[in-house]
Each structure stands twice: as C-alpha cells, then as structure tokens.
Amino acid sequence: MNLEFYRPTLEALSPYIEGYYFISPSEHASNLHYWTFPNNFFIVSVSQDVAIEMGENKLFVRHSAQPTVLSNFVSRYTTPIEVLYDGPILEVTIYFKPLGINQFIKDPHTLFEQNTALDFNPFPDFIPNMTEILSTSDRILQRKKLEAYWLSKLQIKEFPPIKEVILALESEERIEGIAHKNGFSRQYLSKLFSKVVGKSPVEYRKIHRFRAAIAKQKNMKSLTELSHESLFYDQSHLIKDFKQFTSVSPYTFFKKVDTDQECLWLFI
C-alpha cells in the first residue's frame, strides 16, 4: 500500500493542521506495517471498508467485505503503538497541532478524557463528506475537498495564556516559573493545560524534547551533544525518555529509523 503525506495548501489551516496522509492500495503490496511513537498531535483517521481491532499497544486494520466508513481518534499515548494494515484499504489521517482541534470542535476536552476511541463523528455531515473524499480517485481534487471541508468548520478561538505556555514549554524555562509568570499555581496550570491540549505540561515537554531529538540527531556527533541541544538535563535523561517512548535505547532506535525520511518517521 502507498502512504503519501501532505501539508495543508490553504494558509488558513496551516496554524492548526500539521498535515495529513492518504493510504491507498498498491499493485506491489497489500500490507503496511509500522510503529507510531508518542507526539503532541491530535490524530483523526477515517478508513473505508475496514474492520479495526485495538489491543494493548497494537492496532490492526484489515479490509472488510462489508461497506463501512470508520473514524477514530488518538489524543494521547506514551508508549509506541504497532500498526498493521491488511489491504486493500483507503484511509485519510489528519494531524492537528496542539490547540488545533479546539478550532474546529466545540468541546474537545471530552475527547481528551478518552485518549482514543473508534467512534469519532463530530458533525452530522462528517461521515458523508469523508466517504466522498475517500471515494475521489484524483489526489489533487481529493486534497482540495478535504481542506475545504475542514476550512468550513474552522471557528478561530484565542487561547492567549496557553499559546505562551506552549512556547515556554518548548524552551528551557521551568514549569513553576511558567505558572508564576502567568499568575497561576502549578496545579491550576496543569489542569487548564490538560483541558485544552489533552496532556499535562510535563508530558507535553517530554514528548517535545523526544521529537526534537529525533529531528536533530542526524546533525549531532554524540548522544551527549544531542541531549544538550534537545534540552535534556543529560544523556541518561535522554536515554530514559527514549526507552519510555520507543521501548528501546536511542542507540537501537537510530540504527533502525532513517531520520532523513521525514514523511514516515517524523510525523508518525
């Protein structure tokens, strides 16, 4: 099967959607197998004519003779998930940036509380439109329809303190200092942040550092240098987080993962 990743062409969507990918049948292979690692995105997938089985740290998507359109979301996970496809399968998956899903859905905190679910259907016209998009064979037209649909649902909301908090969490600033600067206690900041982002400030920062390390690794000479450049306290701290998020050491991870292949490994 083919997996093709795209960034939004509409500027209005770019602040809220990181990108999306299509999975489609291929003449050369009917199966797809990969691992997906923790990230700070809200992920929505819509698949046509499939049956989905979810197990512990595993997702199996197989072709079904029954005509169906299933939509699921993942808002939070802290260990790698193995994903297996047994095709032919049509799917579109959208990656919403932190705060992004809030711009399209009224009360996403109810979704964040579930972490993941197989029944994502936020609007009365969602499944009919996704069905039409998946049934469109021309990729350019398919992308236009997908982006036009999400643009029609866009209702921009401002989250001034949380926007600043996200930027601060991606720096070296201490969480206690971030809370104090915004007039919050650390406990209140954590509650507010979790409500609109779907994870705690501590977890968000750890995942951001992990992803930053993946992106920077190819330009680093050692794990020590990578640790400092990715805002880890030291090399042992980096190793600990990598083992949590990938189940292997960073040495093993970087041997198996080609970080130059941006599409697959930096966004999945």
Give me the mean pLDDT over the 183-198 stretch: 95
Residue 263 has pLDDT above 60, yes or no: no
For residue 6, the one-letter residue type is Y
Task: State whether 126 and 203 are in the same domain.
Answer: no
- Total domains, the chain: 2
Residue 142 shares a structural domain with residue 171: no
Q: Average pLDDT for residues 193-221, to the nearest whole number?
A: 91
Residues 144 and 165 in one domain: no
- On the question of pLDDT at 264 being above 60, the answer is no
Residues 180 and 88 in one domain: no
Together in a domain, 110 and 202:
no
Q: What's the mean pLDDT in 128-138?
A: 96
Exposure letters 22-38 (e unless 16+ CB within 10 A, then b):
bbbeeeeeeebeeebbb
Mean pLDDT of the chain: 90
The 10s digit of each residue's pLDDT in 55-97 is: 888 889 999 988 889 999 999 999 998 999 987 889 999 999 9
In this structure, of 28-37, 113-122, 124-133, 178-187, the range with the lowest mean pLDDT score is: 28-37
Of the chain, the percentage scoring pLDDT greater than 90 comes to 61
CATH number reported for the structural domain that contains residue 186 in this entry: 1.10.10.60
Domain boundary among 152, 183, 201: 152
Per-residue pLDDT of 13-25, as tens digits, reads 999 999 999 998 8
The CATH number that applies at residue 42 is 2.60.120
Looking at per-residue pLDDT, the higher value among 172 and 39 belongs to 39
**Pair type for strands 31-36 and 50-55:** unpaired
Strand partners, 141: none
Residues found in the chain: 268
The residue with tokens 């920077």 is 216
> Where is the domain boundary, 100, 130, 152?
152
- Asked if 147 and 242 sit in the same domain, the reply is no
Tokens of 126: 């969602």
The reply to whether 73 and 6 lie within a common domain is: yes
Q: What is the 3-state secondary structure (H, E, C) of the chain?
A: CEEEEECCCCCCCCCCEEEEEEEECCCCCCEEEEEECCCCCEEEEEEECEEEEEECCEEEEEECCCCCEEEEEECCCCCCEEEEEECCCEEEEEEECCCHHHHCCCCCHHHHCCCEECCCCCCCCHHHHHHHHHHCCCHHHHHHHHHHHHHHCCCCCCCHHHHHHHHHHCCCCCHHHHHHHCCCCHHHHHHHHHHHHCCCHHHHHHHHHHHHHHHHHHHCCCHHHHHHHCCCCCHHHHHHHHHHHHCCCHHHHHHHCCCCCHHHHCCC
Q: Single out the residue in 152, 173, 197 at which a domain terminates.
A: 152
Residue 225, domain extent: 160-265
What percent of the chain clears pLDDT 70, i.e. is strictly above it? 95
Q: Which residues pair with 43 in a beta bridge?
A: 74, 95
Looking at the structure, do residues 47 and 124 belong to the same domain, yes or no? Answer: yes
At residue 266, the pLDDT reads 46
Q: Are residues 193 and 141 in the same domain?
A: no
* Same domain membership, residue 187 and residue 75: no
Residue 17: strand pairing partners: 96
Residue 40 has pLDDT above 80, yes or no: yes
Euclidean distance between CA atoms 189 and 195, whole angstroms = 10
Question: Angle, nearest 10°, between helix axes 235-246 and 201-216?
Answer: 100
pLDDT at 187: 95
